[in-house]
Structure 1
Amino acid sequence: MWRRRTLPAVVALLGVSGLGLITVGVTADPARPPRPPVDAPTRTHPAPDLAPLPRAAPVRVQIPAIGVRAEVVPVGADAAGVLEVPPLDRPTLAGWYRHGVSPGETGNAVVVGHVDSPAGPAVFFDLGRLRAGQEIQITRADARVTTFTVDGVRSYPKEHFPTTLVYGPSDIAGLRLITCGGRFDAGTGNYVDNIVVFATRTA
């Protein structure tokens, strides 16, 4: 199947170049996005015994702690297996990796977003400010709203992207939010790191 053949290529390239696309087109010296703490993400709350939800695309993400309320659109991968992101001229959109699980299914759902754009900060600019215990709400196409609680937030150099932690198997419903961060390399037009939020479904 296409999904099984191409997923390894997507995850292998994601940390090196996939999310580098988030900052393409930024020509001014951008404000540096917040850096998360250096502590490793650990589950600070028990995962409740929740029945997995059926598959349904996410349509909106809300993160009250950092003021995010954004539409979510499906994204895939290009011919080279690089994860796509929403159009740079629509920096307030988030993108759900549609070839993975949907939020609420068993496994880790992946949602990506721009950190900035030529116009300034974008949807996930403040992702690094999130802390363990804060909540993320995902509204799905079936009208269900599912809540995830943050386990931790980490910054990773793109060449050391945590592929297994993001895309690896899980026996619970998890969520991964991803954007760029760290130092901005004016020569390449990209940030050198990825910010990853790890969260577990709690309602």
Structure 2
Amino acid sequence: MRKWLGGVVLLLALAGCSGQAEQQQPAATGQQSIVEDNATPAKGVASLPASTPTEIVIPKIGARSSLIPLGLNADQTIQVPPVDQPMQAGWYDKARTPGELGPAVILGHVDGKKKPGIFFRLKEMAVGDEVSVSRQDGTTAHFKVTHVEQIAKKEFPSEKVYGDTYGSELRLITCGGTFDHAAHSYKDNIIVYATLVPPTS
């Protein structure tokens, strides 16, 4: 059994949305993951095989971006897309790929270099809105939003965002709320939760 995101508290308060990047370091909790490598989804649960994501499209907010992989920095903090390229989104490559069983995570800036970012309008997302992620294997994973929240970075819900799930899910994360000029960062995160729409035959 692979102990991955469900066994780790990833205290990501995504900053770097404008100004100086602020990242936090993962800390092990010793909890077991509920998702095994090559896990078979429960009956009735839709999922796709692993495949690198290449593009995200969110019609509701007019967002479209290629996806770059984001890993961990040398100090084990989570990388964010380059602030000087605010329209570039990225996917956290230590998580599942979009459509695969478990939570996939895509990060984007609300702004950067005094310009709107790819997720500038993410806070407008609502339950039922659609998100599509194209994948390297030629398939597209379609998701529907189930929940949207704005939460203080100091209260970031790591397990809720990164913890393993029994279905194929997606999280979109950006900054929001008031900008803290002293810290060069926004005080909150906007988090969108979405679930895979079963492919139709």
**8 Å Cα contact 2:70/2:90 also seen in 1:** yes
Query: 1:188: Cα distance to partner?
Result: 1.2
Offset of 1:6 from its aligned partner? 8.5
- Give the partner amino acid of 2:118: V
Question: Partner residue of 2:12?
Answer: 14
The CA deviation at 1:93 is 1.0
- Quick one: which amino acid aligns to residue 61 of structure 1? I
Give the whole-Å Cα distance in 2 for the aligned partners of 1:5 and 1:104.
20
Give the equivalent residue in structure 2 for 1:43.
none
Specify the code of the residue in structure 2 equivalent to 1:173: S
Residue by residue over 1:70-90, the C-alpha shift from the partner in whole angstroms, topping out at 9 and shown as x without a partner, is: 111110011222211111121
User: 1:140 maps to what in 2?
Assistant: 135
Which residue of 177, 180, 185 corresponds with 1:185?
180
Amino acid in structure 1 at the alignment position of 2:134: T
Give the C-alpha shift of residue 12 in structure 1.
Answer: 3.6
CA contact (8 A) 1:13 1:82 kept: no
Contact 1:10 1:82 in 2 (8 A): no
TM-score with structure 2 length normalisation?
A: 0.81
Q: Which runs of 5+ in 1 are unaligned?
A: 27-47
Cα distance in 2 for residues equivalent to 1:106 and 1:175: 10
Contact 1:77 1:84 in 2 (8 A): yes
The residue matched to 2:12 in structure 1 has which SS?
Answer: helix
Query: Sequence identity of aligned pairs in percent?
Result: 41
Gap regions ≥5 residues in structure 2: 22-42
Amino acid at match of 2:133: I
- Mapped to 2, the partners of 1:93 and 1:10 lie a distance apart of 27
Q: Compute the RMSD of aligned alpha carbons.
A: 2.2
Map of 1:41 onto structure 2: none
| Whole-angstrom CA distance in 1 between matches of 2:79 and 2:9 | 12
Matched, 1:168 2:163: yes
**Is the CA contact (8 Å cut-off) linking 1:25 and 1:117 kept in structure 2?**
no
Deviation string for 1:29-59 (max 9, x for gaps)?
xxxxxxxxxxxxxxxxxxx935421111111
Matched, 1:202 2:197: yes
Q: Secondary structure of 1:177's partner? A: strand
TM-score, reference length from structure 1? 0.80
Preserved contact between residue 11 and residue 156 of structure 2 (Cα < 8 Å):
no
Q: Indicate whether 1:125 and 2:123 are aligned.
A: no
Contact 1:58–1:141 (CA under 8 A) maintained in structure 2: yes
Give the match's secondary structure for 1:54: coil
Letter in 2 for 1:134: D
Q: Secondary structure at the match of 1:156?
A: strand
User: If each structure's helix is expressed as a fraction of its own residues, which one has the higher value?
Assistant: 1
Aligned equivalent of 2:61, options 46, 58, 66: 66
1:155·1:193 contact (CA, 8 Å) conserved in 2? yes
* Aligned partner letter, 1:164: E
Aligned residue pairs, count: 176
